[in-house]
Amino acid sequence: MLKFFYNAAPNPMKVALLLEELGLAYEAIPVDTRKGEQFAPDFLAVNPNAKVPAVVDGNVTIFDSNAILLFLADRAKQFVATDLHSAERAETLSWLMFIASGIGPFSGQSVHFRNVAPEPKDYALNRYDYEANRHWGVIEQHLAKHEFMVGGQYSIVDMAFWGWARLVPFVLGTGDATWTNYPHVKRLLDVISARPAAQNAEALKSRHVFKAELDAEARKFLFPQNERLKSTT
Ligand X SMILES: N[C@@H](CCC(=O)N[C@@H](CS)C(=O)NCC(=O)O)C(=O)O
Binding mask 16-35 for ligand X (x = CB under 6 A): -----------------x--
CA distance 82 to 97: 17
Return the number of the residue (103 or 188) whose C-beta is nearest ligand X: 103
What single-letter amino acid sits at 77? K
Nearer to ligand X, 45 or 144 (CB): 45
Contact with ligand X (CB under 6 A): which of 38, 107, 109, 133? Answer: 38
Looking at beta carbons only, is 49 or 82 nearer to ligand X?
49
Nearer Cβ to ligand X (102/173): 102
Amino acid at 93: L
Q: Is 205 in the site for ligand X (CB under 6 A)?
A: no
Q: What is the closest distance, in whole angstroms, from the C-beta atom of residue 189 to ligand X in the complex? A: 18
Give the nearest distance from C-beta 200 to ligand X in angstroms: 19
Burial class of residue 11, CB neighbours in 10 A (0-12, 13-18, 19+): buried
**Contacts for 206-210: CB closer than 8 Å, 24+ residues apart:** 207/28, 208/28, 208/30, 210/7, 210/8, 210/30, 210/32, 210/34
Q: How far is the CB of 37 from ligand X (least distance, A)?
A: 10
The least CB distance from residue 71 to ligand X, in Å, is 12
Minimum distance, C-beta of residue 223 to ligand X, in the bound complex (Å):
8
Count the residues of the shown chain that bind ligand X, applying the rule CB under 6 A. Answer: 15
Considering only residues 124 to 183 of the shown chain, the ones binding ligand X according to CB under 6 A are: none
Binding-site member from 5, 11, 18, 56 for ligand X (CB under 6 A): 11
Segment contacting ligand X by CB under 6 A, of 6-14, 74-82, 125-133, 172-180: 6-14
E strand or H helix at 8, and its extent?
none
DSSP string covering 154-213: --HHHHHHHHHHTTHHHHHT-GGGHHHH-HHHHHHHHHHHTSHHHHHHHHHGGGS-----
Alpha helix segments (H runs only) across the chain:
10-22, 41-44, 65-76, 87-98, 104-115, 122-145, 156-165, 168-172, 178-181, 183-193, 196-204, 216-222, 226-232
Q: Which 42-101 residues touch ligand X, going by CB under 6 A?
A: 50-53, 64-66, 100
Q: Which residues bind ligand X (CB under 6 A)?
A: 9-11, 33, 38, 50-53, 64-66, 100, 104, 222
